[in-house]
């Protein structure tokens, strides 16, 4: 199911993907990368959220919007949760959640982030 939501502060339309069957190939046969697979310090551009609607909506409120850059920052000693920088904030996510956040293919805008 695809939902369109209008934000109250920017009047822009946002699209989120909810409970969609994800395939291993998305753009021209290239495997889609998930946020959980992104190495620390490397930037990724969010493509879609393959999560239940309530979780997807909450993450969108925190800045996880299609087209925004996300950078894995650090993780807890056991490796989970992991902190991600998005839209000026730091958000900790479990690997299970991060593995359902899909990034654009490298040819569509994934690059190296600079550390502050």
For the chain (116 residues), the mean pLDDT of every run of 10, in chain order, is 44 41 40 85 93 95 94 88 92 95 69 45
CATH superfamily entry for domain 29-108? Ferrous iron transport protein A (FeoA) (2.30.30.90)
DSSP annotation of 9: T
Residue ranges of domains in the chain: 29-108
- Global pTM exceeds 0.95: no
Backbone angles phi, psi at 91, to 5 degrees: -130, 135
Confidence at residue 96, expressed as pLDDT on a 0 to 100 scale: 95
Mind giving me the DSSP string for 22-90? P-SEEETTEEPEEGGGSPTTB-EEEEEE-B-HHHHHHHHHTT--TT-EEEEEEE-TTS-SEEEEETTEE
Confidence at residue 85, expressed as pLDDT on a 0 to 100 scale: 95
102, 50 contact by CB (below 8 A): yes
102, 36 contact by CB (below 8 A): no
Backbone angles phi, psi at 19, to 5 degrees: 55, 35
Confidence at residue 31, expressed as pLDDT on a 0 to 100 scale: 54
């Amino acid at each position: 199911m695809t939902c369109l939501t209008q934000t109250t502060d920017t009047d822009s339309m946002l699209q989120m993907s909810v409970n969609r069957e994800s395939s291993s190939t998305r753009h021209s046969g290239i495997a889609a990368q998930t946020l959980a697979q992104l190495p620390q310090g490397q930037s990724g551009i969010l493509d879609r959220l393959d999560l239940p609607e309530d979780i997807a909506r909450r993450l969108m409120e925190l800045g996880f919007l299609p087209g925004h850059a996300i950078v894995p920052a650090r993780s807890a000693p056991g490796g989970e949760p992991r902190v991600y920088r998005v839209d000026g904030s730091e958000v900790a996510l479990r690997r299970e959640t991060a593995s359902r956040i899909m990034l654009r293919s490298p040819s569509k805008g994934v690059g190296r982030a600079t550390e502050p």
